[in-house]
Structure 1
Amino acid sequence: MQSLPPDLWQAAWLTVRLATTATIFLLAFSLPLAYWLARGASLWKDAIFTAVSLPLVLPPSVLGYYLLLALGPSGPGGWLARISGAGQTLAFTFWGLVLGSVLYSLPFAVQPIHNAFEAIGPRPLEVAAMLRASPWRAFWTVAVPLAWPGILSGAILGFAHTVGEFGIVLMIGGDIPGRTRVLSVALYDYVENSQWREANIIAEGMVIFSFAIIFLMSLLRRRIGRYQS
């Protein structure tokens, strides 16, 4: 049996690293944002929620295009690079991929977490306030434990969506081996070069991974239903 090419392993490792890093940042942003959006309704919050949800319908190449302009030498990214003395913008770097992945996967993390916080209702937090718990303590000791199924769903969906993303990754990261070539981009390269064995390995792996994620989400929803009943 032939061994897998080193560049495929390299792309797989970079994909896992990117998805893990992006998921950490997604949770860091999504938890407070979803909690704030779930606490009452206003036109301002509806506008923010709409902006966060734009990647659900916006083509990845459009978001990638504007990010490329922003991160490139002619945009704010170039200005920040010159001010900080970094000498390089975030475009076509790993951290540029992280930023793009976080922005594009944000609604997949925010929406389930928002729904979980919204389902809690105001009563548990009112009880915590009556017991003189600070808003910060009530958030971590009451809201987060009660919303853990939605938080877990958001983390899983954010990770999976980052693994499968292609358009925005190619737009702002290009195809640099070891730096920005993730599995989705490697698959495109293999097909372009008629390397069907390697392309089949990636495609089959993606199908198995997608099936596993959907199956896991189905099991999680079942457990949530039992937990809530």
Structure 2
Amino acid sequence: MSLWETLGKLDWTPFLLSFKLAGATTLILFFLALPLAWRLSRSSSRGKPLIEALTALPIVLPPSVLGFYLLWGLSAQSPLGAFFEETLGMKLVFSFPGLVVASCLYSFPFMLQPLQSGFEGLDRRMIEASYLAGKGSWQTLWRIALPNIKPSLVTALIVTFAHTVGEFGVVLMVGGSIPGETRVASVAIYELVETMDYATAHIYSAVLLLLSFGVLLGVFVFNRRQKRKHGGFR
């Protein structure tokens, strides 16, 4: 059987679910992290390190620990899970909506930190000039600050998307492996290895490997061009 015939017979549903999850997570996190990143970049309060530490926890916290607390927090035994199930009729554990909630928490720092870093690197005189021109904080954010941090913005969006596609521990604990519902690509690879279907696992893994490399290459190329455009290289 040729490679193309093998690819044609593969189940691509896990990848479609992964991309759907990554797209939803990236979109939600952009609107959640943007105002916080802007606020933190302008803040010098004593509570800033505490907020930064809390939002960065998913980077260093073992996925199994975060997954355990999310599994409990989203279950019907918790106030939040009970509210969604009884009031909205939505089950969060072992469901796609639960995966979105878990992914948003797990990927939050990957959206927040590049945006905050970009805002902190802006020339404060440009921001002050916007305020002197009568523009409010939101107008300054959307019309002045955001268009001037394109490398950080692209990095935040693309890395968040790619990181969500590659999630494993958290999504497995919260969503399990329900075909067509929560069985994303990373979980599918794990199950293929367990069943010793190494040939298919190789193909699935190669797709994620190429995707990850392409994403990182695109980010670096874009940022390099932006630096050249603004005189970053001599």
TM-score by length of 2: 0.92
Which residue number corresponds to residue 57 of structure 2? 54
Assess, with a 3 A threshold, how the Cα gap between structure 1 residues 172 and 5 changes in structure 2: closer, same or farther.
Answer: farther
- 1:186 is aligned with what amino acid? A
CA distance in 2, matches of 1:138, 1:123: 12
SS at match of 1:120: coil
SS at match of 1:125: helix
1:141 lines up with 2:151 in the alignment: no
CA distance in 2, matches of 1:102, 1:155: 13
Assess, with a 3 A threshold, how the Cα gap between structure 1 residues 109 and 85 changes in structure 2: closer, same or farther.
Answer: closer
The answer as to whether partners of 2:75 and 2:82 remain within 8 angstroms in 1 is: no
Which residue number corresponds to residue 123 of structure 2? 121
- 2:123 is aligned with what amino acid? G
Give the Å deviation of 1:227. Answer: 3.4
Which residue number corresponds to residue 32 of structure 2? 29
Instruction: Map Cα deviations across residues 89-123 of structure 1 (whole Å, 9 max, x no partner).
Output: 21111111111111111111111111100001321
The answer as to whether partners of 2:76 and 2:85 remain within 8 angstroms in 1 is: no
- 1:149 is aligned with what amino acid? P
List runs of 5+ in structure 2 lacking aligned partners. none
CA distance in 2, matches of 1:64, 1:159: 19
Which residue number corresponds to residue 195 of structure 1? 197
CA distance in 2, matches of 1:228, 1:59: 39
The answer as to whether partners of 2:176 and 2:183 remain within 8 angstroms in 1 is: yes
CA distance in 2, matches of 1:140, 1:39: 15
Which residue number corresponds to residue 10 of structure 1? 13
> Which is further off, 77-86 or 43-52?
77-86
| Matched ranges for 1:1-229 at <5 A | 1=2, 2-4=5-7, 8-86=11-89, 88-229=90-231
Instruction: Map Cα deviations across residues 159-181 of structure 1 (whole Å, 9 max, x no partner).
Output: 00001110000010001000000
- 1:172 is aligned with what amino acid? V
CA distance in 1, matches of 2:9, 2:168: 21
Percent of aligned positions that are identical: 39
Instruction: Map Cα deviations across residues 128-163 of structure 1 (whole Å, 9 max, x no partner).
Output: 111111222111110111122211110011000001
Give the Å deviation of 1:221. Answer: 2.5
The answer as to whether partners of 1:101 and 1:162 remain within 8 angstroms in 2 is: yes
TM-score by length of 1: 0.94
SS at match of 2:11: helix
List runs of 5+ in structure 1 lacking aligned partners. none
> Which is further off, 96-105 or 179-188?
96-105
CA distance in 2, matches of 1:49, 1:227: 32
Give the Å deviation of 1:6. Answer: 6.7
CA distance in 2, matches of 1:142, 1:163: 31
> Which is further off, 62-71 or 34-43?
34-43
The count of aligned residue pairs is: 228
Q: How big is the alpha-carbon RMSD for the aligned residues of Structure 1 and Structure 2?
A: 1.6
Give the Å deviation of 1:64. Answer: 0.8
